[in-house]
């Protein structure tokens, strides 16, 4: 088959793979209530359905990138696909929440291989003049999976049950494996290169402890940043980072060539990927909670609304890839992140109680434009800033920054939302006039215990039944929505700051031409 045709089938293969890998980070959210009912598990166990995949996925991004350089990217990519398919089948058939969590971690190994090596395979399969378009299509698959997860998950759970969100990966995974076997060419590899064992151990442990510390903070609202469960893991991660740097500077065949970080463009692209994950993608979690728990939309309806963002991604992703070569990655990344910041601030300005979709619509349009335009030039800037022999590792590093950014954003934004919610709730409840103080305190205790994410569900709970006949009950419901709105305004401001910092860093650091050869 001619190379001109083969490369497009390679793009189809890897886009399908990354869509599945990224979808499995977001799709599970809408299935959690059904999984909880099935296994009668508590919330802490339930969270590991999400976190087991994320934790292993983040920790394995660098090792599988290096492994692909050593034994062949095609082999490792297809092996990752196979692991992902087996993990999906096992997750769909899991008989307990414990086994589901274990299989989700196994699935994360495959997801990391698929995600990390796919970008490298696309970069090496297309000539430079077509690479922007190819990376645009690849990025569209990533953005579509992140924004479209609630829609796909909601449709599957409502029609086929929660197990279908894992089992659906099997036929598509098998198709991707067959396409990969036929169309992807094996990469050149250095047969004399060996695995940097110490670098592998230190890098994997470093990312694992960093992400695990964030997960601990997310799962335990009572933990402060200085709690030993969090600070201890963060400190260990820093120690491992120092050990990793020392190792890479001394071994003959390091896992990462530290010289690639001399490129300002490469560093700027990684900063952009981090703030995009922490701000925009981390914020999607709380937009979903707003629409489902406070606006009353079903999981499927929420997914349909989020599809507005995905639609822009599908249209603008390839376009962004084509025009990045003409106007430069720097200004496209910077401008896109700035548009995203304006979108978030527009939602912050318009949102009020009672919540209505029209308040979100203008912001969603701007976020869709931002998300559609920003991913291709980030990938292009990172891949074009390093030597060809380093594109595999550059891909792994870029994905680590994006994924750690998502984990960091979810935790930090959740903390800010809860703080804003509790502060506003206390102020508004204490400001109620002619209301029995005992009633106020009892309701406050219920709302604080339920947390900011409970939404309207708390008003139908057994704890609230005794208070539903109180004349002030309806007013209290509005107060709870107002408290969540106050928390979301804090969240929106943090997201906007993230995106604006990324926009500034991109404008300053990313060069039009490569600085390294």
Q: Between 21 and 494, whose confidence is greater? A: 494
Whether residue 513 has pLDDT greater than 60: no
Mean pLDDT over residues 320-324, rounded?
Answer: 74
Whether residue 267 has pLDDT greater than 70: yes
Whether residue 20 has pLDDT greater than 60: yes
Mean pLDDT over residues 102-130, rounded?
Answer: 86
Taking only the tens place, the pLDDT of each residue in 458-468 is 766 665 665 66
Query: Mean pLDDT: which of 92-106, 302-316, 457-471 is highest?
Result: 92-106
Taking only the tens place, the pLDDT of each residue in 120-163 is 888 888 887 777 778 778 777 777 777 677 778 778 887 888 89
Q: Between 504 and 150, whose confidence is greater? A: 504
Burial class for 512, CB neighbours closer than 10 Å (0-12, 13-18, 19+): exposed
Report the mean per-residue pLDDT for the chain.
83
pLDDT of residue 142: 74
pTM, rounded to two decimals: 0.82
pLDDT of residue 516: 45
pLDDT of residue 441: 76
Task: Give CA separation, 88 vs 48, 94, 147, 178, 452, in Å.
Answer: 16, 10, 21, 17, 32
What 3-state class would DSSP assign to 516?
A: coil
- pLDDT confidence tier of residue 228, bands split at 50, 70 and 90: confident
- pLDDT confidence tier of residue 239, bands split at 50, 70 and 90: very high
**DSSP characters over 293-348:** IIS---HHHHHHHHHHHHHHHHHHHHHHHHHHHHH-HHHHHHHHHHHHHHHHHHHH
Where do the structural domains in the chain lie, given as residue ranges? 1-184, 196-254, 271-517
Whether residue 366 has pLDDT greater than 70: yes
CATH number of 271-517: 1.20.1250.20
* Helical (H) or strand (E) element with 405: helix 391-430
Whether residue 100 has pLDDT greater than 80: yes
Whether residue 268 has pLDDT greater than 90: yes
What 3-state class would DSSP assign to 189?
A: coil
The radius of gyration of the chain's CA atoms, rounded to the nearest angstrom, is 23
Beta-strand runs (E) in 163-211: none
pLDDT of residue 517: 42
Q: How far apart are the C-alpha atoms of 290 and 161, rounded to whole Å? A: 24
CATH number of 1-184: 1.20.1250.20
pLDDT of residue 336: 93
pLDDT of residue 45: 67
Q: How far apart are the C-alpha atoms of 199 and 240, rounded to whole Å? A: 10
Straight-line distance from the first to the last Cα atom of the chain, in angstroms, rounded to the nearest whole number: 32
pLDDT of residue 489: 94
Taking only the tens place, the pLDDT of each residue in 402-446 is 888 888 888 888 888 888 988 888 887 777 666 667 767 777 777
């Amino acid at each position: 088959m001619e190379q001109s045709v083969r490369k497009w089938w390679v793009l189809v293969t890897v886009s399908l793979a990354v869509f599945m890998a990224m979808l499995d980070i977001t799709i599970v959210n809408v299935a959690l209530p059904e999984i909880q009912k099935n296994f009668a598990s508590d919330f802490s166990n339930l969270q590991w359905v999400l976190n087991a995949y994320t934790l292993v996925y983040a920790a394995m991004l660098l090792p599988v990138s290096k492994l692909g350089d050593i034994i062949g990217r095609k082999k490792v990519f297809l092996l990752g696909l196979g692991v992902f398919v087996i993990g999906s089948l096992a997750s769909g058939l899991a008989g307990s929440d414990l086994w589901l969590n274990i299989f989700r971690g196994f699935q994360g190994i495959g997801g990391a291989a698929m995600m990390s090596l796919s970008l490298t395979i696309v970069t090496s399969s297309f000539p430079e003049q077509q690479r922007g378009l190819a990376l645009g299509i690849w990025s569209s698959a990533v953005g579509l999976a992140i924004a479209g997860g609630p829609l796909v998950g909601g449709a599957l759970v409502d029609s086929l049950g929660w197990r279908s969100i894992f089992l659906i990966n099997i036929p598509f995974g098998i198709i991707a494996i067959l396409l990969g076997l036929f169309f992807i060419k094996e990469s050149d590899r250095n047969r004399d290169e060996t695995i940097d064992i110490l670098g592998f151990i230190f890098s994997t442990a470093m990312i694992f402890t960093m992400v695990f510390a964030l997960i601990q903070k997310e799962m335990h609202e009572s933990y402060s940043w200085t709690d030993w469960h969090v600070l201890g893991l963060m400190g260990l991660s820093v120690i491992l980072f120092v050990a990793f740097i020392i190792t890479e500077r001394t071994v003959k065949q390091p896992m990462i060539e530290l010289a690639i970080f001399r490129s300002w463009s490469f560093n700027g692209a990684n900063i952009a990927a981090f703030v995009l994950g922490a701000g925009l993608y981390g914020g999607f979690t709380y937009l979903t909670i707003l629409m489902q728990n406070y606006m009353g939309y079903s999981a499927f309806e929420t997914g349909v609304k989020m599809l507005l963002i995905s639609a822009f991604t599908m249209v603008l992703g390839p376009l962004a890839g084509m025009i990045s070569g003409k106007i430069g990655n720097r200004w496209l990344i910077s401008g896109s992140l700035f548009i995203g910041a304006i979108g978030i601030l527009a939602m912050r300005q318009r949102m009020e109680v009672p919540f209505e979709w029209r308040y979100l619509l203008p912001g969603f349009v701007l976020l869709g434009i931002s998300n559609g335009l920003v991913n291709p030039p980030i990938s292009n800037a990172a891949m074009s800033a390093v030597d060809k022999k380093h594109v595999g590792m550059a891909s792994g590093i870029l994905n680590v920054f994006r994924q750690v950014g998502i984990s960091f954003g979810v935790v930090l934004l959740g903390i800010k939302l809860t703080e804003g919610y509790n502060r506003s709730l206390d102020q508004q409840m204490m400001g109620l006039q002619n209301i029995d103080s005992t009633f106020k305190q009892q309701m406050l205790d219920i709302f604080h215990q339920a947390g900011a994410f409970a939404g309207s569900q708390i008003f139908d709970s057994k704890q609230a039944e005794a208070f539903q006949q109180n004349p002030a009950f309806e007013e209290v419901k509005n107060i709870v929505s107002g408290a969540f709105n106050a928390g979301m305004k804090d969240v929106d401001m943090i997201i906007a700051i993230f995106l604006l910092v990324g926009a500034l860093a991109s404008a300053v650091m990313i060069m039009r031409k490569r600085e390294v050869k």
